[in-house]
Chain A
Amino acid sequence: MLNSDPPVDDAVTSNDAAVDATLRSGARGAVVLAGIGTAIIVAIWFAFYFLIFVPRTGVS
């Protein structure tokens, strides 16, 4: 296995408590990251639609 264990933090008494602490943010970072990624993908789709598909249907 290739494992990178997180550094031990004295202020936290257990791994579960640490995880709970991070969850207080409600996975907002993931929403932002996945949201940006999805937005880029949708933008690519619309770029193709307007810049390539529509002009070609005009030709024929």
Chain B
Amino acid sequence: MTQTLSPPLPPSPEDRAERAEHRWAAVAVAVVTLLVVVAAVAGLRQEVMPQSRIETVNLGTLHLGGEFVESNLGSAIEPDGSVTVRAIGQQFSFTPSCILVPTDTPITFRVTSSDVVHGFLITGTDINLMLVPGYISKITAHFQTPGERYMPCHEFCGMGHEGMWGRIKVVDKDAFKQMAASTRRLSCAK
């Protein structure tokens, strides 16, 4: 049996409105998805990933023993040639107050706070961390050119917060190796 189909009615204004809405909603979802995908891919490619594991540290014994005793702070060359920088933020300075790192080397920063929440920012880079007492903040970096940068605390940490500026000095890889020959932990703090 054949059916005679009447010609379709032209879309009513309500239908056109609804279609416009739905098309826009699809556009909105597509735009947002695009940004998420680009950001995710960027994160993986640029390797600027926040730490995946949570590490804690005992604040009560921070200065007495373990990784963050004062003699262990500063830049240390690992057996595989990479450099680990250990530092502490406290009211109202960083220790070491000037961090020394080489160019062209994988660098791991391991930083914590010995009192309140501080920030850790190397200006002009995206090395940007929060230091939360009781937790260790970790990030990897790779510097290409020598130079000196400011390293301010960017989180309110008390009345002296505005004075909490550290420095980081990037020196040539070979110069760094020479300096490392004579001392266990390097810094440019004077």
Binding between chains A and B: yes
Q: A38-B31, A56-B126, A60-B127 are in contact. Are A23 and B16 (CB under 8 A)?
A: yes
- B142 / chain A contacts, CB cutoff of 8 Å: 60
Residues 127-171 of chain B: 1 if any A CB is under 8 Å from the residue's CB, otherwise 0? 100000000000001111100000000000000000000000000
Judge if B52 is at the interface, Cβ distance under 8 Å.
Answer: no
A42 to B28 Cα, complex, angstroms: 11
- A54 / chain B contacts, CB cutoff of 8 Å: 46
- A1 / chain B contacts, CB cutoff of 8 Å: none
**Is chain B's interface secondary structure helix, strand, loop, or mixed overall?**
helix
Name which residue of chain B comes closest to A34, CB basis. B24
Residues 21-56 of chain A: 1 if any B CB is under 8 Å from the residue's CB, otherwise 0? 001101110110011001000100100010001101
- A23 / chain B contacts, CB cutoff of 8 Å: 13-14, 16-17
Name which residue of chain A comes closest to B45, CB basis. A57
Judge if A7 is at the interface, Cβ distance under 8 Å.
Answer: no
Q: How many A-B residue pairs have CB under 8 A?
A: 53
Judge if B71 is at the interface, Cβ distance under 8 Å.
Answer: no
Judge if B40 is at the interface, Cβ distance under 8 Å.
Answer: no
Judge if B35 is at the interface, Cβ distance under 8 Å.
Answer: yes
- B122 / chain A contacts, CB cutoff of 8 Å: 60
How many chain A residues have a CB neighbour from B under 8 Å? 22
Judge if A58 is at the interface, Cβ distance under 8 Å.
Answer: yes
Name which residue of chain A comes closest to B20, CB basis. A27
A24 to B14 Cα, complex, angstroms: 9
**Sampled A-B contacts (25; CB under 8 Å):** A23-B17, A26-B19, A26-B20, A28-B20, A31-B23, A31-B24, A34-B24, A35-B27, A38-B27, A42-B35, A45-B35, A49-B38, A53-B126, A54-B46, A56-B124, A56-B125, A57-B46, A57-B126, A58-B144, A59-B124, A59-B144, A60-B125, A60-B126, A60-B127, A60-B143
5 tightest A-B CB contacts, nearest first: A23-B13, A26-B16, A60-B125, A60-B141, A57-B46
Q: Which residue numbers of A lie inside 8 Å of B, CB to CB? A: 19-20, 23-24, 26-28, 30-31, 34-35, 38, 42, 45, 49, 53-54, 56-60
